[in-house]
């Protein structure tokens, strides 16, 4: 695992790339042994217990919390964003953990194999922290995997967050009915998957006046109504907030200024005494505001979607380990580096420096070819 940590921190992208650094004297000091072959490293990950990695996540959280590195935003509510993430898809190789779907192609229907996991990421004041991930199993839907994740996370992180925020898929009675009695609020995008509720909200909003608001550079009109009863499967009191947002963008192709608009609806259990309309809008956008700080960052810059080993345990281990490395790296970058150093070197630059260190002093030529 220590070797794999270096692979992620240096963002090498494959076990073979890691193996190319094997002659560096760093490895003997770091591992107290030679760097194992790519095959051995891959095989070992099928034996690692995810529980141990999850415990390491908890330790990182606890240290950051004690160090007062996880302050809440101005509205005082820390969100935990639930998000499904699909990794690789293939027609060829599959394993017992693969999900399947039928793809209609010109050559007829084909079975595609893929994996998806649900992650939970804390969002506070200018910081984020990926807490845990849970694979979706064959035969279940994403919400079922999310509930299993919540069952594990709630007792382990009882006071880490106040509200669970998610996209429209999670506007699901199972999520609301699970979290609300356990003292956690829920906030989900309301979309066309709840036509009756959306219709009810729209007709009520037509007869209510809006108030002016602002989200980032967007001028907003807010509507905010509680006491909805058109969602009988949900036991909690339901409030719906709408934000009609208008902003200007300059078009790249001809430099013209264009007005854009978005019409958001959120369904939430958050009481008005706990979260103002503006706070609900901010929390509602949290899922999208973190786009470059969660799995997108891991996929784009950390090669988290690379299939290091196509086996259910290995896939989970690599996911949890990539998340852990990102958390530790971000904590170091934001807390330990002075602002001047951060200005001089972005995160990718630092990763390249780590990688460069590993390759320095290694003889070029055949010795670098993976065995």
Give contact residues for Zn ion (rule: CB under 5 A).
95, 98
Residue 354 C-beta: closest distance to Zn ion, Å? 30
Residue 265 C-beta: closest distance to Zn ion, Å? 36
Measured distance CA(57)–CA(218) in Å, rounded? 36
Element (H, E) at 172: none
Residue 92 C-beta: closest distance to Zn ion, Å? 11
Tell me the DSSP string of 17-63.
Answer: HHHTTTTSTHHHHHHSSPPPPHHHHHHHHTT--HHHHHHHHHHHHHH
Of residues 89, 154, 148, the one with CA closest to residue 116: 89
Which one, 95 or 225, has the nearer CB to Zn ion? Answer: 95
Which one, 100 or 193, has the nearer CB to Zn ion? Answer: 100
Residue 87 C-beta: closest distance to Zn ion, Å? 9
**Strands (E) located in the chain:** 79-90, 99-105, 108-123, 128-135, 163-166, 185-189, 211-215, 218-228, 238-250, 257-268
Which one, 50 or 345, has the nearer CB to Zn ion? Answer: 50
Residue 139 C-beta: closest distance to Zn ion, Å? 14
Residue 369 C-beta: closest distance to Zn ion, Å? 29
Q: What is the dihedral of CA 60, 65, 69, 75, to 10 degrees?
A: 130
Residue 179 C-beta: closest distance to Zn ion, Å? 30
Residue 326 C-beta: closest distance to Zn ion, Å? 23
Which one, 98 or 324, has the nearer CB to Zn ion? Answer: 98
Which one, 64 or 98, has the nearer CB to Zn ion? Answer: 98
Q: Which residues, in sequence order, are bridge partners of residue 82? A: 120
Which one, 96 or 195, has the nearer CB to Zn ion? Answer: 96
Tell me the DSSP string of 64-112.
Answer: HHHTT-----TT---EEEEEEEEEEEESS---TT-EEEEEEETTEEEEE
Measured distance CA(195)–CA(73) in Å, rounded? 33
Angle value at C-alpha 27, between 23 and 30, nearest 5 degrees = 170
Measured distance CA(238)–CA(277) in Å, rounded? 14
Q: Residue 340, Cβ neighbours under 10 Å: how many?
A: 8
Q: Which residues, in sequence order, are bridge partners of residue 187? A: 165, 268
């Amino acid at each position: 695992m220590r070797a794999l940590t270096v692979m992620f921190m240096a963002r090498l992208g494959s076990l073979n790339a890691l193996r190319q650094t094997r002659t560096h004297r760093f490895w003997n000091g770091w591992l107290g042994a030679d760097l194992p072959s790519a095959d051995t490293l891959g095989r070992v990950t099928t034996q690692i217990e995810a529980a141990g990695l999850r415990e390491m996540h908890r330790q990182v959280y606890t240290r950051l919390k004690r160090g007062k590195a996880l302050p809440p935003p101005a509205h005082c509510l820390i969100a935990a964003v639930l998000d499904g993430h699909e990794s690789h898809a293939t027609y060829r190789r599959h394993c017992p953990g693969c999900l399947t779907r039928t793809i209609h192609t010109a050559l007829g229907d084909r079975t595609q194999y893929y994996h998806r996991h649900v992650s939970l990421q804390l969002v506070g004041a200018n910081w984020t922290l990926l807490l845990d991930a849970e694979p979706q199993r064959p035969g279940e839907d994403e919400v079922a995997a999310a509930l299993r994740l919540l069952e594990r996370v709630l007792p382990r992180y009882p006071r880490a967050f106040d509200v669970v925020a998610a996209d429209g898929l999670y506007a699901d009675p199972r999520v609301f009915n699970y979290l609300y009695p356990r003292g956690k609020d829920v906030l989900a995008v309301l979309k066309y998957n709840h036509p009756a509720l959306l219709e009810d909200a729209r007709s009520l909003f037509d007869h209510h006046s809006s108030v002016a608001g602002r989200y980032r550079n967007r001028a907003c009109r807010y509507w905010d109504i509680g006491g909805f009863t058109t969602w009988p499967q949900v036991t909690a009191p339901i409030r719906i907030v709408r934000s009609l947002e208008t902003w200007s963008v300059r078009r790249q192709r001809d430099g013209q200024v264009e007005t854009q608009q978005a019409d958001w609806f959120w369904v939430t259990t958050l009481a008005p005494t706990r979260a103002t309309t503006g706070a609900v809008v901010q929390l509602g956008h949290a899922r999208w505001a973190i786009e470059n700080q969660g799995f997108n960052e891991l996929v784009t810059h950390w090669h988290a979607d690379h299939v290091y080993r196509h086996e259910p345990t290995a896939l989970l281990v690599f996911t949890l380990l990539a998340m852990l490395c990102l958390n530790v790296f971000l904590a170091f970058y934001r807390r330990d580096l002075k602002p001047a150093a951060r200005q001089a070197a972005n995160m990718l630059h630092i990763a390249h420096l780590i990688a460069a260190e590993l390759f320095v002093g290694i003889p070029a030529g055949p010795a670098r070819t993976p065995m």
